[in-house]
Structure 1
């Protein structure tokens, strides 16, 4: 996981719920604002935190932002090509001509980019396992769903490793090197074995949940629950203050 490379960064030492709360506050601020300069300011601040505080390489940040950039470009092209069907967005932009459609598309695209950068910050700052444990311990998240999330987090890398072993076995049997990118026929041949692997893992997980007595008692003991420190309220106040300043500027 990407998080493991930056687990020693400052934000990685905070309680996951604190980082999650600040991200939610920024999400609300972005969703309620149609000011392009505010969206640009949010993107700049988050990038500064990612590169300057979390020490995330710039190229990695840019690579992770590509899907959100493409998604934002979709708003621009939609408003330009189908502007008669986007009266609400053009009304927000302050006009009803082609220039307003472009302005509305850029505003919505900047919003998507701002939300994307905050999502990247959360993904690179929070340990998924610690986040789930914090949800169960502090917000009374159902333990069964939490364990299911743990299983899913372990299943994805195991599924990729199983697919790599299957591809290697097929290549050895055919007497050829393993292709870097599997073709359509190879992907179709791997679908059923991988599905069977996932079904077996699901059955084992269900047995494991029964063995651990999920649902037997309302109270459960947990280990490794992240705690709070003085840095958590400081980060919450600082994040809220930054958002207020960006909205007022």
Structure 2
């Protein structure tokens, strides 16, 4: 259901929620900004809650840095202390740290919502059709999306070949030395692929002045209006939480 929404509509809604999460300094609002996208992903997109928890680990670590800095070193802005003094949590330093922690997680959850419900190919096509993204930029993004899995496959082949040469099975997790030794070969592989892609794009007459036909570009429909309206209403309801409780 969520994948059928135009990527531009979802992008605009996510930017609106991100802006609200950055501007509203209240733990209840930040918690709502975490729960609403998470419930939408679990109920409407059938996303595993364990996957969401795993994806939130980097944002939790990032927010934990704000929390420890606020509590241990008392390094927070005057606005944070002023708003934290009006909170129900014990000390201003701890309150400010909690809100900053929840803000980092909320921004991460909103970003994950867009990433898990949006096909990158549809997003690029939508940007090219609706927002006039230059064809060179769009096709460069297509090439980059194709390069990423090929780069991972090439790295795995190199690891397997080196393990066979050494007479041992490949390690499940490569060590720092092995990773460092793969940098130069993978860089050379990426440069070769980039050169071939540039030649292919030039051979197909890709120029900024030539009109091009973009197939399977998503359009706007009634579902986009319903989604945008529901997201705006939910955001307003979340904004009323600090006023009512």
TM-score relative to the length of structure 1 = 0.91
Q: Supply the distance in 1 between the matched residues of 2:113 and 2:127 (Cα, whole angstroms).
A: 19
Cα RMSD after superposing both structures: 1.6
Q: Supply the distance in 1 between the matched residues of 2:105 and 2:176 (Cα, whole angstroms).
A: 33
Q: Supply the distance in 1 between the matched residues of 2:214 and 2:75 (Cα, whole angstroms).
A: 56
Aligned 8 A contact 1:79 1:86 in 2:
no
Aligned ranges for residues 62-73 of structure 1 at < 5 Å?
62-73=53-64
Question: Out of 175, 194, 205, which is 1:213 matched to?
Answer: 205
In structure 2, the residue matched to 1:75 is 66
1:240 aligns with 2:232: yes
Which is worse superposed, 212-221 or 155-164? 212-221
Q: Secondary structure at the match of 1:181?
A: coil
Q: Report runs of 4+ in structure 1 exceeding 3 Å deviation.
A: 84-88
Aligned ranges for residues 105-144 of structure 1 at < 5 Å?
105-144=97-136
Question: Cα deviation per residue 1:194-231 (whole Å; 9 max; x = unaligned)?
Answer: 11001101111211221222225253211110122211
Q: Secondary structure at the match of 1:83?
A: coil
1:35 aligns with 2:53: no
* Count of matched residue positions in the alignment of Structure 1 and Structure 2: 238
Q: Supply the distance in 2 between the matched residues of 1:36 and 1:116 (Cα, whole angstroms).
A: 15
1:179 aligns with 2:171: yes
Which is worse superposed, 186-195 or 236-245? 186-195
Aligned 8 A contact 1:144 1:214 in 2:
yes
Question: Cα deviation per residue 1:99-128 (whole Å; 9 max; x = unaligned)?
Answer: 211111111111111111111111110001
Aligned 8 A contact 2:62 2:104 in 1:
yes
